[in-house]
Amino acid sequence: MPVIHVSILEGRSVETKRAYFKALTDASVKCLGCRPESVSIVLSEMPFEHYARAGKMKADELAEAGLSVEAYHAREAGKKG
């Protein structure tokens, strides 16, 4: 029975998280040969003030760039393709 723990920055929509849960479950079924019912996922969302990289708080990066949380996620989603 896989238990998947994921930490992400806050601000994603319920629809996005729902799609992510489905993708993680589908990948677990395919790779591990388990049933979807046996896959558990624990999602922890953290505020931008609780995440830093290279000593710089993500919230400060957003403020310096003049980005809202929504604008940040929209920009990051645009980088996928």
Query: What pLDDT, on a 0 to 100 scale, did the predictor assign at position 81?
Result: 55
Q: What is the pTM of this model?
A: 0.82
Query: What pLDDT, on a 0 to 100 scale, did the predictor assign at position 76?
Result: 86
56: its two tokens:
């710089």
Strands 56-57 and 52-53: antiparallel
**How many other C-beta atoms can be found within 10 angstroms of the C-beta atom of residue 12?**
18
Residue 57, judged by CB atoms within 10 A of its CB (0-12, 13-18, 19+), counts as middle
Per-residue pLDDT of the chain (81 residues; tens, 9 = 90+): 999 999 999 999 999 999 999 999 999 999 999 999 999 999 999 999 999 999 999 999 999 999 998 899 888 888 865
| Residues annotated catalytic, as ranges | 2
